[in-house]
Structure formats: C-alpha cells, structure tokens
Chain A
Amino acid sequence: MVQVLELRATLLSAIRRFFADRDFIEVETPAIVPSPGLDVHLSAFEVRDPRGKRAGWLATSPEYQMKRLLSAGAKRIFQVCRSYRGEERGSHHEREFTMLEWYRADATSDDLIGDTEELVAFVAGSLDQPAPEVQPPWQRMTVDEALQFHANLTLASLLDDEERFFRVWAEEVQPRLGAERPIVVTDWPASMASLAKLKPNGMADRFEAFFQGVELCNGFGELTDATEQRRRFERDQAERKADGLPVYPIDERFLADLERGMPESGGNALGVDRLLMLLLGASSIQAVMPFPDEQL
C-alpha cells in the first residue's frame, strides 16, 4: 500500500512538472456543478443541500468550467481532480476517480495528441520502474480502420445501429487496441462527437488513446459554436427523456461563455488511475487506489 501511495505521488508530481515546463497553469473548478454533462451514457450523482433541496450534481468531468476559463482568456490550463460517475463499476471503473484534463487555446487535436504522447512517455520515465513501451510516436487509426482491421466490418455498416456499434467495439475492437504500444483512434462518427467540432470530412474531431485494450483518454478539437452546442444538448436531453433517464439541465453559463467567444482550442481528459495501472502492469485501477469504493 505504501508503495502504491509513493508511486501515485510520483506520477502526480511528474504530471505537474510536465505541464509547468510547458507554461500551463494548474486550475481548480468546483465538484458540485449545475449540470453534470448531458452525454446519454453518463450517469451522475445528485447533490442535495442540508434542507434536502437539490444543490446540483457531482461533476462527471470538469469540462464546462475549464472551457469557461478559456473564454475568460486563459491559454493553457490543466487540472487533476476527482470526477464522479454513477453506475460504472469494474476493474477499469470506479464511481470516484482521478481525471487529468488539459486545454490549449489556439491549438488543434493534433497538438493535443502530441501532448498526450509526450506526457505519457515523460511520466513513465519518472516512475523509476520497468515501464512498458510508450515512446512516441504512437500508431494512429481511424474508427473505420479499427473496425475493419479487428472486426472485419465497416463503420458505414454499423452507423444506423449505435448499440451494435458499441457491442462490436466492446467485444471485438477495443480489447485488441494498443496491445504492444498505445494507439490513437481518430475520426469518430459525427453522432458521437459530444463536445467536439466536426472535421471537413464530416467526422468528429475527436480522438481516444488505447493501451492494452484500455481506453486511456478522450480528446477533442473543441466545438466553439454555441448554437450547434445548444442543438446537441437539446438532442441529448430528448434522447435521455425518451430512454427514461434523468434529464439534466443545460449549463446556460457555459453556453453564454461559448457565445461570448471561446478561442479555437483542443482539450483532453485522461484517466490517471488507468495510466498508473497500465504503467505498473497492475490488474485493476482498484489495485493502484488507496480507497476503492469497495474498501470504504
């Protein structure tokens, strides 16, 4: 246990050093937020005040508030914080986990992929442990290529059945991604763009890195168009309602700040517990956390 604590501390200080060396500032945003994110497949913990009135939700990611800081003029920001998700439990999931998010104004998703490769190589070197092979550059593949390569299916053949897409992805594709070295998967379908802008080819400007079958991070060339963002939020709300899921409110201050003007930016969210697990060759994120849910 003490060894895990020391390795975690080493990893966290290496992350902070990496960003400080690149002129990022560390920021803090609230854990209790007015909207926890509208993605249909995210579930959030509701927070009540001492009188029983709803106070908000625990943040599933610090994304909205960090982007508001970009609109306020911040250029390079990062945060290491707890994020909270309900109904996610398994060897790569905890209801409370450590997220690293960083954003760069005037940057593209390619710049963020570069940051990710360098960051992972840097922190792997700092751990003073035999680390797996993570040196850049990492292989890149589009979603369509990954499907064709690992499942012999085209993205086009799966697009009108999202559940089947995710089933094939979960069973056949993801477990085989990044078996030896991390891999970056780009060009997600527009319907899965979330808060990413669209590329000229019509695909989402979104990337994910995978290592040994584990999703390590999710990044975007950020959507800066408030009207389009509102349209997506309303679509997600309608889908949540149709599926009988709680319908979270739209964060109007976030949209207002987008409207006022957010620079073209890139952002990425990386699971710190998963990174430590992979670098140490541990079998679960719980093995690298001092207090997983089940031991509280």
Chain B
Amino acid sequence: MADTSDIKKGFKMLLDGVPFAVVDHQFVKPGKGQAFVRTRIKNMMTGAVIDRTFKSGEKLDKADTEERTMQYLYPEGDTRVFMDTRSYEQLALTNEQLGENVHYLLDGTEVDVMLFEGRPIGVTPPTFVELLVTETEPGFKGDTSSNTTKPATLETGLQVNVPLFVNAGDRLKVDTRTGSYVERVKG
C-alpha cells in the first residue's frame, strides 16, 4: 500500500479500478490546518486529465503497470500487432487505444507499450519519427524562408502542415508529441 508521500511525477495509482498517472502535484497546508496533496492526474485508459486533492497521508493503491519496449509488426483488422523484442511475445492494440499514435507506426518502429494488469492499454512512440510525403501541392523551388505552409499527407495517413518547398517523395522529421513538422531529412 502506498500513501500520498509516494506521489511524484509519473506515480501511477488506481482510482475506482482505473489507472492514473500523476502529471503534477503540490503539497498544500493551509494555515495551521489539515495538509493536502493537490494533484493533476491523467487517466491512462482515456488520456483525460483531471484534478484531484488527497488528504496528506491518505492511503493509495498503486496501479499495476509496466512499460515494455516492443516493435511494431503489422495491422490486423482494426488492431495493430506488436512484438516484445526480447521474449518475442506478440500482442495487439486496437486503433482506438492507439489514437493519434497509429500515425507514427512503420514496420519495425520501436515503441514503449504500457501494460495495465498485464493487458496493453497504450503506447509511447519515439519522440521523433521520419515519414515519407505521399501527397502535397508541388513545391516552389528556392522558397525556403517564407512562413507560409501547405497541407501534406504522409505515408501513414498523418496530415501535417509543411513549408512550401516540401515535395511528394521527401522524408520529413515529425515530433510525435505535437504531431508537427520539424524538418526535411536530407538524402
């Protein structure tokens, strides 16, 4: 059993059967009164972030979670299949569980899979991935300074705004935390 003194960023607790991860926390003790720990916690199943205040010293259930590095293999129906790179064990997550992250998966991409009570509930892709542009308006040669952008579709179906000089066939570096264009990859 844990209690509020164990709370730190990333601490995972179980509330009404649902795993939550601590995003932010603050110890507060109003003048000569009861102490509390105010937290901002993220529902690890849905991604929703909520505020919750605990009495200092309150007992907490630790969530039984585990993160494992796995390789993306292939789509299967409305799921995606991953393989543990050490045990070769395979498991699947639904596209719904993957959400936006579905757009960062290429054959062989290594991701961290979050398991809750042994079952997969989500993935964390690498911070940056390289993806091929499949469709965009033709670029203007030499225009590398303008702040104007245009939409582009990447090989995984991801839509990003890119500078005007980008062409279909270019490789782009994308930030998976924001889903935005970082730079064109040379070569």
CB-defined interface of B36-70 with A at 8 Å, one 1/0 digit per residue?
11100000000000000101110000000000000
Question: When the two chains form their complex, are residues A163 and B55 in contact, meaning their CB atoms are under 8 A apart?
Answer: yes
A106 within 8 Å of B by Cβ?
Answer: no
Question: When the two chains form their complex, are residues B31 and A208 in contact, meaning their CB atoms are under 8 A apart?
Answer: yes
Question: When the two chains form their complex, are residues A87 and B57 in contact, meaning their CB atoms are under 8 A apart?
Answer: yes
Residues of A within 8 A of B38 (CB): 170-171
Question: When the two chains form their complex, are residues B30 and A91 in contact, meaning their CB atoms are under 8 A apart?
Answer: no
Q: Which residue of A lies closest to B51 (CB)?
A: A171
Q: Which of A88, A90, A93, A169 contacts B33 (CB under 8 A)?
A: A169
Question: When the two chains form their complex, are residues B36 and A192 in contact, meaning their CB atoms are under 8 A apart?
Answer: no
Question: When the two chains form their complex, are residues A41 and B55 in contact, meaning their CB atoms are under 8 A apart?
Answer: no
Number of A-B contacts (CB under 8 A): 64
Q: Say whether, besides A39-B32, A163-B34, A192-B32, A170 and B27 are in contact (CB < 8 Å).
A: no
Residues of B within 8 A of A23 (CB): none
Q: Which of A39, A93, A162, A208 contacts B27 (CB under 8 A)?
A: A93
Question: When the two chains form their complex, are residues A174 and B32 in contact, meaning their CB atoms are under 8 A apart?
Answer: no
Q: Which of A88, A163, A188, A194 contacts B29 (CB under 8 A)?
A: A88
CB-defined interface of A79-123 with B at 8 Å, one 1/0 digit per residue?
000000001111111000000000000000000000000000000
Measured CB to CB, the closest approach of chain A to B73, in angstroms, equals 43
Residues of B within 8 A of A169 (CB): 30, 33
| Separation of A41 and B30 alpha carbons in the complex (Å) | 10
Q: Say whether, besides A87-B56, A87-B57, A163-B55, A170 and B30 are in contact (CB < 8 Å).
A: yes
Question: When the two chains form their complex, are residues A194 and B32 in contact, meaning their CB atoms are under 8 A apart?
Answer: yes
B35 within 8 Å of A by Cβ?
Answer: yes
Question: When the two chains form their complex, are residues A90 and B31 in contact, meaning their CB atoms are under 8 A apart?
Answer: no
Question: When the two chains form their complex, are residues A215 and B30 in contact, meaning their CB atoms are under 8 A apart?
Answer: yes
State how many residues of chain B have any CB contact under 8 Å with chain A. Answer: 19
Question: When the two chains form their complex, are residues B35 and A174 in contact, meaning their CB atoms are under 8 A apart?
Answer: no
Residues of B within 8 A of A87 (CB): 5, 35, 56-57
Q: Which of B5, B25, B26, B34 contacts A41 (CB under 8 A)?
A: B34
B28 within 8 Å of A by Cβ?
Answer: yes
Measured CB to CB, the closest approach of chain A to B105, in angstroms, equals 37
| Separation of A229 and B25 alpha carbons in the complex (Å) | 37
Interface size for chain A: under 10, 10 to 19, 20 to 34, or 35 or more residues? Answer: 20 to 34
Q: Which of B27, B36, B57 contacts A167 (CB under 8 A)?
A: B36
| Separation of A183 and B79 alpha carbons in the complex (Å) | 57
| Separation of A162 and B31 alpha carbons in the complex (Å) | 13
Question: When the two chains form their complex, are residues A90 and B53 in contact, meaning their CB atoms are under 8 A apart?
Answer: no
Among B5, B34, B55, B57, find the residue whose CB has the most chain A CB atoms closer than 10 A.
B34
Question: When the two chains form their complex, are residues A162 and B34 in contact, meaning their CB atoms are under 8 A apart?
Answer: yes
Among B27, B32, B37, B56, find the residue whose CB has the most chain A CB atoms closer than 10 A.
B32
A180-239: which have CB < 8 Å to B? 188, 192, 194, 208, 215, 218
Q: Which residue of A lies closest to B30 (CB)?
A: A169
Question: When the two chains form their complex, are residues A90 and B30 in contact, meaning their CB atoms are under 8 A apart?
Answer: no
Residues of B within 8 A of A163 (CB): 34, 55
| Separation of A192 and B33 alpha carbons in the complex (Å) | 8
CB-defined interface of A137-177 with B at 8 Å, one 1/0 digit per residue?
00000000000000000000000001101110111001000
Among B25, B30, B56, B57, find the residue whose CB has the most chain A CB atoms closer than 10 A.
B30
Question: When the two chains form their complex, are residues B26 and A166 in contact, meaning their CB atoms are under 8 A apart?
Answer: no
Known: A87-B57, A90-B26, A170-B28. 12 other contacts (CB 8 A): A39-B32, A41-B33, A87-B5, A87-B35, A89-B27, A90-B28, A163-B34, A165-B33, A167-B53, A170-B38, A171-B36, A192-B31
8 contacts between A and B (CB under 8 A): A41-B29, A88-B29, A92-B28, A165-B33, A166-B33, A170-B33, A170-B53, A188-B31
| Among all A-B residue pairs, the 3 with the closest Cβ atoms | A90-B27, A166-B33, A166-B34
Which residues of A come within 8 Å of B, CB atoms? 39, 41-42, 87-93, 162-163, 165-167, 169-171, 174, 188, 192, 194, 208, 215, 218
